[in-house]
Structure formats: structure tokens, C-alpha cells
Amino acid sequence: MLRLRVITALALMAVLLPALFAPGPLPFALLALAAVSAAGWEWARLNTMHAEHPGAQGQTVRPPVDNAAWSLGSGAILAVACLATGYWWPGGPGGSGLWWVAATLWIVGGTWALRAGPAGWGRQPVALRWLLGLVLLWLAWLAMVQARTLGINFLLSILCVVWAADIAAYFGGRAFGRRKLAPSISPGKSWEGVYAGVLGVLVLAQLWINADARWTLDSPSLFTLLDRHLGTALSMLACAALAGLSVMGDLFESLVKRSAGAKDSSALLPGHGGVLDRIDALLPVLPAALALAML
């Protein structure tokens, strides 16, 4: 399994890096479009294959039929929505208003969903869950494209917030994990892992700010912009909040999978599961990072 994971990761990097460092933003935008479209297909599948659960009056609610055409159509609808947005709104939103709305939706809605748990999520109307997922994925695509337009260094710093938080949380949780974070959603996660993830992001931020000051790059990183706009103390608080949002995104997708009775969002990425399994933590971090960077 480890060998398969490494091979898949290397293949993904071989596709990601040329698109990321291409002279213009179009190759990365198209790669991001393929990723979110696949994630839209996975989202539709997950939200039409729920396990049986007790309804409001105690009756058994049967799972909806897993409709392959509906799932494929959902990915296509998301792709068309993204392409239309890119055509009519090529530069992305001019201000930070949309990103603050998206970040607020994640904070309020994500908190509610995690408190309600897998059973509470499964009781919501399928149409509402389906639409919410496609909207969140559309916002993530738009945020990725705008971040790439602002600069490679800027986008890469946002991606590394999630990667650093995930890696530090994994090792911190394995070494010190005692108190479970959300045992009914993701039994392996601990509060100690969260703290380690936040610390990892704070260390990364300081190192990146120093690198920006030493070398001339194509754009300021997210960390440098936050430091300029907010000062050291508030910028570190903002970085900690982004690390927390990455955990929320990860837990939210785990909740949806547990509600559906699925281990992975799909088997598209051998050894890694599905596309949603790889980008779940990015979904809330991307819009929130843009909102903070544009203060």
C-alpha cells in the first residue's frame, strides 16, 4: 500500500508542478477544473448512497439509489459552472466580499454540521446537501484560480498551510495524542494533533516570511501579506485560524463519508482514495486565505 501511495503521489506531483509553474494561469486553472469536477462526481455519489438511519418519527429511512448518471451529471454541471465563471468573470471577484461570505458559511455551517454529526447530516434533504457541496467546490475552484493569478508564491503558500498542518498533526497526534477530537466522525484525530498542526503552520509562516525578505519571488506569500497588513501577533493568529479551518474541512468530509458508510470518497487515486480525500482541507482554507490577504 505504501508503495502504491508513493507512486500515485509522484504521478500527481508530475502533473501539478508543471501546471503550477506554467507561464500563465490557464494550465493550473484547467487542472483545478478537472480536480473539482471529479470531486463533484464524488460528492454526488456520497450524498446518494447513505446507510439506513432512524427518521424523525423513529421510522427507518432507506438510502436513495446511487444514480451513476446523476453523479456524472453533477461533475459536468460543476465543470460548466466553473467555465462560465472563468469566461464571464476571468479575474475573479474584485474585492474580498465573496471570500468573507464563503469563510462565514464554512465557520457557521461547518460548526453546525460537526455538532449534528453523521446522523444529523444524513437527515438533511438530498438536494440541499448536493447543492451545498457543488457551491463549496465552485468557490474553491474560483479561489484557486484567483490565487494563482495573484502569484505562484502566494498560491503555493496557501497550499502549504494545509500540507504543513496535516503533516504536523499526523506526527504530533501519533506522538502525543491522548484526547479524541471527534471520535464519532474521525476516531484517529486528537486535540494534541490539532495543536501540533497549528504549531507547524506558525513555524512555516515565520520561515516563509524570512524567505520572502531574502529572495525576490514572483509575488508575496500569504504569510508576508498577513504580516504586512496585520502585524506579527494578529498574522500568527490568522495563520492559526487557517490551520483550524483545515481541520474543519477534513472533519467535514469525514462526516459525509461516515454518513454515507464509505471509507473513501472514491478510488480514483490508487492508495489515496478520491480527489475529495486530497482537497477536503483546502475547501475552507482557500476562500478564508483570500479574504484575509485582501484586508
Among the ranges given (10-14, 68-72, 127-131, 141-145), the one the predictor scored with the smallest mean pLDDT? 68-72
In the predicted model, what is the mean pLDDT of the chain?
89
- In the chain, the percentage of residues whose pLDDT exceeds 70 is 92
46-86 pLDDT, tens digit per residue, is 987 644 444 444 444 444 444 688 889 999 999 999 999 98
280-293 pLDDT, tens digit per residue, is 999 999 999 999 99
Distance CA(99)–CA(120), nearest Å, equals 27
Residue 13: what residue type?
M
Which residue, among 177, 175, 164, has the nearest Cα to 247 in the 3D structure? Answer: 164
Q: Please indicate, yes or no, whether the overall pTM of this predicted structure exceeds 0.85.
A: yes
Distance CA(30)–CA(79), nearest Å, equals 10
What pLDDT does residue 91 have? 67
Distance CA(136)–CA(7), nearest Å, equals 29
Domain extents for the chain? 2-293
Measure the N-to-C terminal CA separation of the chain; round to a whole number of Å.
44
For residues 137, 12, 93, 242, the Cα torsion angle rounded to the nearest 10 degrees is 80
